Amino acid sequence: MTITDTPAATTIHASELRQLRLEDPRTRILDVRTTSEFESVHIPGSYNVPLDQLAEHVDAVADLDAPVVLVCLSGNRAATAQEKLNSAGKTNLRVLDGGIGAWQTAGGDVVKGEEKWTLERQVRGVAGSIVLASILTSIKFPKARALAGGVGFGLLFSALSNTCAMGMLLAKLPYNRGPECVIDDVLADMRD
């Protein structure tokens, strides 16, 4: 099994990834979740370059000769990373279908650290809290319900555009920052 050199959006299932790692040891797994999420649980031997940092170094990552499988929580951030890397010329690239959750469900080995809320869970918690607070506040100040509408619009826009401004902001919080990702070190390790 190999990763083909096609720029089309392709996925790989957890069982296929296990087989691919056995057949082609050059295959690199690049996890684009936040460092905090990566520290909580990740695939052994994977490399962490959070999506916001990948955007800054997309050309350097695209220059890697090795086939790359992108991983995130569900596949959305990995698909975004795939689009960026394909645009930069990287073709031997796949996205783990269903993300780290699918890998775990399929019985894949993981390295576990301190469990933290995923970025997607944090977005749901913050959005829900804002909506609830604005509805409760609107009992005394009716105009406060507009905030709930704004969050609803933001969530709809997020779904339609497959981006998440709140998630990008939350990713910058200290809670979501683990050890700093030194991209040059990661790239050097991935080249070995």
Catalytic residues: 72
Cβ of 45: how many Cβ atoms within 10 Å?
Answer: 12
User: Which element (helix H / strand E) includes 171?
Assistant: helix 165-171
Q: Phi and psi at residue 42, in whole multiples of 5°? A: -155, 165
3 state DSSP class of 94: strand
CA distance 138 to 147: 9
CA distance 17 to 43: 11
